């Protein structure tokens, strides 16, 4: 068979959501994901897959995912960290140190289309859940492993986002030039690796559709970091230049940073000559665009110290929101520096409907909308983040029973 046939699945109790199409099958309908991951990169990836219709079974140890206890903040008594990355899944608690539970886990994997795990390299092998072991019974399985530093010489190094921000060089690029290095405000490489895992899974499923063959998909945080540093990585790899901290300035473009206004700072990003000319016109200083020191981006970057005060003296005459309206209307990218509530408010203003509700009654949870829009198969929000082992009894009964069909 060119595509694995799916075994019978236990029914999920889907809750009513605010989605306009709550009964949509989703583009990944019929794909069973055995999720052995925890904390952020893996759970973020499997949440995105669940939004797109995949049946995600979250396998947790008896103590649950670490993020269940990462508080504050909380909603009720539940960690908002956990709530933010675990919708759409069913939970079964298995103690893999016991043979009975390890056998159930192996049966789940035998029936699955995708496995995702982020244990230390080799950690799954002691339970008979490593790629070499499980592919014998399930050759169509897409086995996805997320590590910090790969499965080779870096396999012994624990993988936490903050460590990778440090060793990758990101922290050396973040902060004031004369100040200490800073971490990014979020676990940016965990999220990036989660997205890379989704890309890898989808590509491997496409390959399986054609050949019937599964494969091992490996993602590591350091590689995600180095590709995610894009222009800075290229500056080093292609140009032999080691970038350095520049605060909020951009090494290759000016103006492309915050500027003071009459009240709050405003981001101004005139990234090409045409945008810069429009900026000067809105500021009432069209002659700046014809000044040979500022005519081209390379000139503006070289003479940023002379240009910045000339722009600032005009920007401080009005408030940030007033300039934002004027500049955007003229085609100049700009934006106020919001707190997170302001970011959601801006998304609401632009009709992006950034918040959806999953679940109902006392299980209803506001959550951030899936970032991708589909014209034919929209994301759906079927299940609230599960309580620990919430679906364990039904899943155990299903795994202990016969399959109606087997993988081809």
Residues acting as catalytic residues: 190
Q: Between β-strands 256-259 and 266-269, what pairing exists: parallel, antiparallel or unpaired?
A: antiparallel
Alpha helices in 256-373, H assignment, sequence order:
273-282, 297-302, 304-315, 320-329, 340-349
CA distances from 93 to 57, 105, 106 (A): 10, 10, 14
Q: What is the CA radius of gyration of the chain?
A: 25
Closest CA to 380 of 11, 20, 5: 20
Element (H, E) at 268: strand 266-269
Torsion angle (degrees, nearest 10) of CA 229, 233, 235, 238: -150
Q: Phi and psi at residue 234, in whole multiples of 5°?
A: -65, -35
Rounded Cα gap, residues 78 and 293, in angstroms:
57
Alpha helices by DSSP H, 115-160: 131-134
Identify which of 358, 361, 355, 360 has the alpha carbon closest to the alpha carbon of residue 384: 358
Q: Quote the tokens at residue 238.
A: 């292609």
Across-strand partners of 59? 92
**What is the end-to-end Cα distance of the chain in Å, rounded?**
6
Q: Which two tokens stand for residue 36?
A: 């052995």
**What distance in Å separates the CA atoms of residue 195 and residue 201, rounded to the nearest whole number?**
10
H-helix or E-strand spanning residue 204: helix 188-211
The span from the CA of 113 to the CA of 407, in Å, is 9
Q: Are 46 and 35 in contact (CB under 8 A)?
A: yes
Q: What are phi and psi of 91, to 5 degrees?
A: -110, 135
301 is written with which tokens? 């970057």
């Amino acid at each position: 068979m060119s595509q694995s046939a799916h075994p019978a699945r236990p029914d999920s109790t889907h809750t009513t959501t605010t989605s306009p199409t709550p009964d949509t099958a989703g583009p990944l309908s019929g794909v069973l994901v055995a999720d052995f991951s925890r904390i952020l990169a893996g759970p973020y990836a499997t949440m995105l897959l669940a939004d797109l219709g995949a049946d995600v079974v979250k396998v947790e140890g008896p103590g649950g995912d670490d993020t269940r206890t990462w508080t504050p903040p909380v909603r009720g008594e539940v960690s908002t960290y956990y709530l933010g990355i675990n919708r759409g899944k069913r939970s079964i608690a298995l103690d893999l140190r016991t043979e009975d539970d390890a056998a159930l886990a192996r049966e789940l994997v035998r029936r699955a289309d995708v496995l995702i795990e982020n244990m230390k390299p080799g950690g799954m092998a002691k339970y008979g859940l490593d790629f070499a072991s499980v592919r014998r019974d399930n050759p169509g399985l897409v086995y996805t492993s997320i590590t910090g530093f790969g499965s080779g010489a870096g396999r012994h190094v624990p993988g936490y986002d903050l460590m990778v921000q440090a060793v990758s060089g990101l922290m050396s690029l973040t902060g004031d030039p004369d100040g200490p290095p800073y971490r990014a405000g979020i676990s940016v490489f965990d999220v990036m690796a989660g997205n890379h895992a989704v890309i890898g899974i989808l590509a491997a499923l496409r390959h399986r559709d054609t050949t019937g063959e599964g494969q091992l998909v490996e993602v590591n945080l350091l590689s995600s970091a180095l590709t995610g540093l894009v222009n800075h990585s290229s500056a080093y790899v292609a140009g032999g230049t080691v970038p350095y901290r520049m605060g909020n300035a951009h090494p290759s473009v000016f103006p492309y940073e915050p500027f003071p206004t009459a009240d709050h700072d405003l981001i101004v990003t005139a990234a090409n000559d045409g945008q810069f000319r429009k900026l000067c016109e809105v500021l009432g200083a069209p002659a700046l665009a014809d000044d040979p020191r500022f005519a081209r981006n390379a000139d503006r970057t070289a003479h940023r110290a002379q240009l910045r005060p000339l722009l600032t003296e005009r920007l401080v005459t009005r408030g940030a929101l007033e300039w934002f309206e004027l500049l955007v209307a003229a085609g100049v990218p700009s934006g106020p520096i919001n707190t997170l509530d302001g970011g959601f408010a801006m998304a609401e203003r632009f009709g992006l409907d950034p918040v959806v509700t999953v679940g109902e009654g006392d299980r209803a949870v506001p959550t951030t909308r899936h970032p991708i829009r589909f014209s034919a198969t929209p994301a759906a929000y079927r299940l609230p983040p599960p309580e620990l082992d919430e679906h364990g009894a039904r899943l155990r009964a299903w795994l202990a029973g016969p399959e109606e069909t087997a993988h081809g």
